[in-house]
Amino acid sequence: MLKIILILSIGILTSYGQENALKPNVIMILVDDLGWTDTTCYGSDLYQTPNVDELSRTGMRFTDAYSACTVCSPTRSSIMTGKNPANNNLTDWITGHVKPYAKLKSPNWKMHLTAEEITLAEAFKATGYKTVHIGKWHLGEESVSWPENQGFDENIAGFRAGSPSAHGGGGYFSPYNNPRLKDGPKGEYLTERLAQEASQYIQSTAKLKKPFFMNLWLYNVHTPLQARQEKIDKYTRLIQKGYQHTNPVYAAMVEHMDDAVGTVMQAVKDAGIEDNTIIIFNSDNGGLRGNYENNRQKVTSNYPLRSGKGDMYEGGVRVPMIIKWSRKIKAGQTSSSPVISHDIYPTLLDLCKIDVSKKQDIDGISLVPELLEGKTIQRDALYWHYPHYHLEGAKPYSAIRKGDWKLIFLYEESHAELYNLRNDISERNNLAMTEKRKLAELMGDLRTWKKKIGAQLPVFNPNYNFEKEQNWIFSKSSTQK
């Protein structure tokens, strides 16, 4: 009941005096597992992404954008609620990697987006927007947490699965076995289908003269690695000695993603709504390298960043972010301000003049001063908390970035690592022993933040067995898809 009252009040607060205002449309494109250097405008030496590059040329590109977590579900929750994952205890992907013999035992975490949260979709819907979710969801089970239960009028292809092959899914080629997406003709590619669904929605809704909020959350470029053969052949021919990016199938999947972006951009132009449509492009975590004790093929490289998905080094958490609004945001801008997933919530609502700040306990800040006024974003620090293990190698950690400095605290060894990202973006030179004053400052800030937010901590595992743990890791790495 309280949530209903708050949503109604949002609508009253923001619609008064704005009945005839031309509200902007919003399209949020979220790519799954796209690394920081996985597009041409962010430095790829192989992948071809002309449509994402066009977004960059016509909007603002952020060089220091971060995901709220190094795995997907927490970041997706963060985007939808404006909260740090530790704020609502949705801190691991659903359902996570439970390691029975590890040194530490992870706390119980929420495995769904709860009904109490006021989502972006609910905030937009309360002010007269049509809302649609297209693509991956991965925020819990159907009864409470699927898009249609979280403020979306329509849900196309969003359910509990984290990849198109999970929970009985058929992969990237039809038949998909997706309960929220009818199978297409044999051989249809999922990302092309989702782009077509988005294009049709844009065209039909524009005719109604109503503003819309669209989640286009692609399953690409998450495993399984599958793409059309002609694209794979293209990149097989393009790979040269010395390239950082060398996987032709993954390269083809990146191009499929870029094609989808192009389809949506063209639909916006054809509908005549380009000047009044905000497009945001983002990823839910860093690029997947594919470690698993050499039992998996290498997927992508995040160089010069260290490591990848699942890990707290920059390769696992720094992501591309581009925001475009032709009518308001000056084209071709680049920002080095540190920004994070939960900034999307207040930023979009601020751009659309929807007042929810007093009704929702959010952790993000609005980026509007920088987007529209050229002012540098002012914030104290960014924080992360992941009291879990991940098969890509991560152990429970908390972290903080403050200015150019980044501290990672690893719970297994009670060990801190300190890096200056301005001088060492690859995080090779641990300064914890030489910069003790800065170490103490950031450790103090991190402790204060964890206490304030009520972060759940890992505890010693009474079943800890080193030998069994190593055997468990090997068995998982051999069978994980």
Q: Report residue 148 as tokens.
A: 């249609």
Residue 36 DSSP label: T
HSE (side-chain half, CA atoms, 13 Å) at 312? 26
**Domain-located, residue 199:** yes
- Same domain for 321 and 251: yes
Positive/negative CA dihedral, 130, 132, 138, 143: positive
**Domain-located, residue 13:** no
| Host domain of residue 205 | 24-380
- Same domain for 68 and 161: yes
Domain edge (last residue) among 380, 400, 420: 380
Sequence-ordered strand ranges (E) for 373-470: 382-386, 397-402, 405-410, 415-420, 459-460
Give the largest CA-CA distance in the chain.
68
What is the structure's pLDDT at 294? 40
- Same domain for 140 and 212: yes
Positive/negative CA dihedral, 427, 430, 434, 436: positive
- Same domain for 329 and 410: no
**139 within 8 A of 73, measured Cβ to Cβ:** yes
What CA–CA distance (Å, rounded) separates 401 from 318?
12
Nearest Cα neighbor of 134 from 196, 73, 79 is 196
Contacts of 262 (CB under 8 A, 6+ apart): 50, 51, 54
**Degrees (nearest 5) of the Cα angle 124, 129, 132?**
85
- Same domain for 391 and 368: no
**Domain-located, residue 311:** yes
- Same domain for 163 and 286: yes
Nearest Cα neighbor of 213 from 135, 300, 129, 153 is 129
Residue 230 backbone dihedrals phi, psi, to 5 degrees: -65, -35
Q: Which residue bears the tokens 């249609």?
A: 148
What CA–CA distance (Å, rounded) separates 203 from 48?
27
Q: How far apart are the first and last CA of the chain?
A: 43
Domain edge (last residue) among 380, 399, 430: 380
What is the structure's pLDDT at 4? 53
Contacts of 420 (CB under 8 A, 6+ apart): 404, 405, 406, 429, 431
What CA–CA distance (Å, rounded) separates 251 from 62?
23
Q: Which residue bears the tokens 């009044």?
A: 276
Cβ neighbours, 10 Å, residue 73: 27
- Same domain for 144 and 214: yes
**Domain-located, residue 414:** yes
- Same domain for 398 and 354: no
What is the structure's pLDDT at 185? 95
Task: For the chain, state the CA radius of gyration.
Answer: 21
- Same domain for 302 and 270: yes
- Coil, helix or strand at residue 449: helix
Specify the pTM: 0.93
CATH number where 456 lies: 3.30.1120.10
Residue 199 gets the label, from left (phi > 0), alpha (psi -120 to 50) or beta, of alpha
- Same domain for 456 and 373: no
- Same domain for 148 and 131: yes
**Domain-located, residue 1:** no
**Domain-located, residue 2:** no
What CA–CA distance (Å, rounded) separates 423 from 319?
19
What is the structure's pLDDT at 246? 95
Amino acid sitting at position 160: R
**Domain-located, residue 157:** yes
What CA–CA distance (Å, rounded) separates 56 from 76?
23
Domain edge (last residue) among 380, 399, 433: 380
Which parts of the chain sit beneath pLDDT 70?
1-21, 291-297, 356-359, 472-481
What CA–CA distance (Å, rounded) separates 337 from 432?
24
CATH number where 359 lies: 3.40.720.10
- Structural domain total, the chain: 2
What CA–CA distance (Å, rounded) separates 32 from 220?
6
**Domain-located, residue 315:** yes
**Side-by-side strand order, sheet with 405-410:** 382-386, 397-402, 405-410, 415-420
- Same domain for 418 and 366: no
